[in-house]
A and B are shown apart, each in its own frame.
With several copies, the nearest count.
Chain A
Amino acid sequence: MTATAEDLSFRQSVRDWLASNFPPALAGKSYRATVEKDPALASDLESWRGRLAAQGWGAPTWPKKYGGAGLSHPEAKVIQEEMEPLGAFNPIPTLAGMGVTMVGPTMLEYGTDDQKARHLRGMASGEIRWCLGLSEPNAGSDLASLSARAEDKGDHFLINGQKIWTSGADVSQWCGALVRTDPSAAKRDGISFVLLPMDQPDVRTRPIRLISGVSPFCETYFDDARADKADLLGKLNDGWSVIKRLLQHERQSQTSADRRKLDNEEPLPDLAKRYVGTDADGTLSDKDLRARLIDNMMADKAHTLTVARIRAEAQGQVKVSAAASILKNSATTVAQTKAELKMEIMGAQGVGWEGDAFEPDELASVREWLFGKAASIYGGSYEVQYNIIAKNILGLPETTQKG
């Protein structure tokens, strides 16, 4: 694909705007690095967020009337590409929690005009944070077996039940929740998707401590919590369609998000050379480790090339592709193996939990390795992904459900 003059002029306008609007003090940071490690930059960040939001670039492909910029996906990609050399970043998807990445895109398809008008701008500006109440303690991968229920009270639903893995529930203003509205219907047929404010006395959250330490996840309890009827997303008892679409958006955001390089991450071969040493010919002295490191790097490269290939095949159009199911497991395997290799490379320095006997990088590697174990569990487990490939892509019979 060769660039047209129009493309080039758009790119130039983006470049110009970024040059005059991105606060240089934030260059090379990320949202997390900024707020967690450098509170002094908070006002720069807030000003940057405001300018992005005003431009509609928090969610650039959304319509202008809902706080977006009405751009095409290739145009949105140009913004991303032009941010890179400046070390610029878009903090809004993070600030909006599950808003920009998942609830918003789904609302654009399933929402009423009233819902779009009331909710989308807050997401696109990064001012309203959203969480998702999907999983339940006894449901796991079998989302459809959920038992949180919503009782019809005329103009609103009364919601009772418990959700788990509600990321950021303790700091969110709104929640999209999957609830059972018809207990007599077949499993997937009696479910609805409702939106409700978190600031109610009858909503409680409890942070979950993970094997890796503190986490953004919560348990969330609804005891007679209230959701307006106007905030039913999609049709009554048709929540399963809504959630399937929403999870496709989740997988897609994971596929790209998981692949972003961490700030200043040292390449594994360099790390290995530092910890393990090399032979006279410059090759790693631990050949067994080296062979497995090569495997992992090749798998990583193959994954990257596949992401690029799928993009090229879609000719620049972002399409929710069936191949996304392959990428989730591939990305997870590469990342988890990489984390294991990192631990192995660090050896006795790769087993630390806290304290001065270990470098901060070493401790961070351990925590990330542990946290990374979740990647093959959430958002469609490793097993569920394979079920999906077998059934939806290869056309083999369903193996998880009878009848």
Chain B
Amino acid sequence: MAALTEEQSIIRDQAKAWAAEQAPVQAFRAMRDSGAATGFEPKTWSAMAELGWTGIVIPEAYGGSDLGYLTFGLVLEELGRNLTASPLFASGLVGAAALVLGGTEAQKQALLPAIAKGSAIATLAVDEGPRHAPAGTALRAERDGSGYRLSGEKTFVFEGLAATDLIVAARTAGSPGETAGITLFLIPADTAGVNRTPMQTMDSRGYATIRFDSVPTPAEAVLGETDNGFGLLDAVLDRGRAGLGADMLGTAAQAFDMTLEYLKTRKQFGQVIGGFQALGHRAAALFSGMELARSCVEAALQALDDDAPDTAQLCSLSKAKMGEHLFQMSNQLIQIHGGIGMTDEFDAGFYLKRARVLEAAFGNRAFHRDRYARLLGF
């Protein structure tokens, strides 16, 4: 755990207590079993907004608390522990960050207070194929009078069904694969020509694919610079990556706690299984992996708050190292629990499934290892 300010400690403790009481993993199970299409409970979401978490990275002038990314990460970690489902990450972190970093004054005023209140849900639509490749953006934004028309398809959009506003990466120039020629647009999700289809993922959240059929888009919908939006996009994605790291950290930490508890209580061959050295060493390795990954996650969040020069590297490091650890941890969660871990009645499967979805989001380990090396020049 990073050295925290008093305010950060309070928020973390509050998040821990709230999630345990109001949104524990049993709540997630109930939500899954109910088949809720949006993948979260409205009352969970409004409670979060009331707690102020939706405004953590939003400046006070727009209704937020501007406490920063490390603070946001502390909340996401606690929610990750409980698999608490909500649009907090998609809207309160990614959506808000896009507006804060790239929005015009008009865009900010129109949307940030609503995000902070939880009445608007903004989300980023970037991926177009099975793999994360922001520079591969192909969705076309063609000039149409003073505005544009958007045509193409986005996939794996977080909270794509519940979103009220979409931040869409589109190509205004150049070819897919080039970082130049990309522009971000901010449009209402109910614009004519926007067709959303649910993606029923194994983590039971509300992702969507979105088809854009010549969607009319005014020039004022441009978010950031025309043709030159990749830098903004990447900066927004990095905030998302760091946030996912925190979510994954919570997921892994809970998986570890469950595993350690089982090691201490489950008996086989006349002793608790944690007394078998092979399992004891495995637990020690998992603990070490978690401590190392935690350092990366917290460093990335802190770097965002400090606007540090190596922020991009640290965000890739965080997503990659955390991904590596969560991969191991989620598999060992099942393996060490044995048969009971394989049953749907037990929660282990939820964590395993969630782990793989988080891994695929915003660039997997391979993506971020490659990006890390390129940022370091080799």
Residues of chain A from 369 to 403 with CB closer than 8 A to chain B in the complex: 370, 373-374, 376-378, 381-383, 385-387, 389-391, 393-402
Q: Determine if B114 is an interface residue (Cβ-Cβ < 8 Å).
A: no
Q: Assuming the A-B contacts A315-B3, A355-B198, A402-B270, are A326 and B278 also in contact, with contact meaning beta carbons closer than 8 angstroms in the complex?
A: no
Contact yes or no, A309 B132, CB < 8 A: no
- B331-345 CB contact bits vs A (8 Å, 1 = yes)? 100110011111111
Residues of chain B from 26 to 54 with CB closer than 8 A to chain A in the complex: none
Contact yes or no, B269 A401, CB < 8 A: yes
Contact yes or no, B342 A374, CB < 8 A: yes
| Residue from B2, B155, B288, B364 within 8 A of A389 (CB atoms) | B288
Contact yes or no, A282 B288, CB < 8 A: no
Contacts of B197 in A (CB 8 A): 356-357
Contact yes or no, B155 A348, CB < 8 A: yes
| Residue from B1, B198, B276, B376 within 8 A of A313 (CB atoms) | B1
Contacts of B263 in A (CB 8 A): 394, 396
- A196-216 CB contact bits vs B (8 Å, 1 = yes)? 000000000000111101000
CB distance from B72 to the nearest CB of A (A): 18
Q: Determine if B202 is an interface residue (Cβ-Cβ < 8 Å).
A: yes
Contact yes or no, A210 B343, CB < 8 A: yes
Contact yes or no, A390 B369, CB < 8 A: no
Contact yes or no, B2 A312, CB < 8 A: yes
Contact yes or no, A348 B200, CB < 8 A: no
CB distance from B332 to the nearest CB of A (A): 11
- A261-274 CB contact bits vs B (8 Å, 1 = yes)? 00000000100110
Of A42-50, A226-234, A290-298, the one touching chain B: A290-298
Contact yes or no, A209 B130, CB < 8 A: no
- A249-266 CB contact bits vs B (8 Å, 1 = yes)? 000000000000000000
Contacts of B353 in A (CB 8 A): 211, 370
Of B90-98, B183-191, B242-250, B291-299, the one touching chain A: B291-299
Q: Assuming the A-B contacts A381-B338, A394-B260, A402-B270, are A302 and B292 also in contact, with contact meaning beta carbons closer than 8 angstroms in the complex?
A: yes
Secondary structure of the A side of the interface?
Answer: helix
| Residue from B200, B269, B283, B298 within 8 A of A354 (CB atoms) | B200
Q: Determine if B274 is an interface residue (Cβ-Cβ < 8 Å).
A: yes
Q: Assuming the A-B contacts A326-B291, A401-B269, are A351 and B284 also in contact, with contact meaning beta carbons closer than 8 angstroms in the complex?
A: no
Residues of chain B from 308 to 356 with CB closer than 8 A to chain A in the complex: 317, 320-321, 327, 331, 334-335, 338-345, 348-349, 352-353, 356
Q: Determine if A344 is an interface residue (Cβ-Cβ < 8 Å).
A: yes
Secondary structure of the B side of the interface?
Answer: helix
Contacts of A164 in B (CB 8 A): 339
Q: Determine if A276 is an interface residue (Cβ-Cβ < 8 Å).
A: yes
CA distance A141 to B278 in the complex (A): 15
CB < 8 Å A-B pair total = 257
Q: Determine if A38 is an interface residue (Cβ-Cβ < 8 Å).
A: no
| Residue from B132, B198, B271 within 8 A of A357 (CB atoms) | B198
How many chain B residues have a CB neighbour from A under 8 Å? 85
| With A394-B274, A396-B264 already in contact, 5 other A-B pairs whose C-beta atoms are closer than 8 Å | A140-B268, A211-B343, A351-B203, A357-B209, A393-B287
Interchain Cβ contacts under 8 Å between A and B, 27 examples: A145-B269, A145-B270, A211-B353, A272-B378, A276-B131, A284-B378, A288-B365, A290-B378, A297-B373, A298-B321, A309-B299, A313-B1, A326-B291, A344-B360, A346-B130, A348-B156, A357-B198, A370-B349, A370-B352, A378-B339, A386-B278, A389-B283, A394-B260, A396-B274, A397-B271, A399-B277, A400-B276
The residues of A with any CB-CB pair to B shorter than 8 Å are 135, 137, 140-142, 145, 164-165, 208-211, 213, 269, 272-273, 275-276, 278, 282-284, 286-291, 293-295, 297-299, 301-303, 305-306, 308-309, 312-313, 315, 323, 326, 329-330, 340, 343-344, 346-358, 366, 370, 373-374, 376-378, 381-383, 385-387, 389-391, 393-402
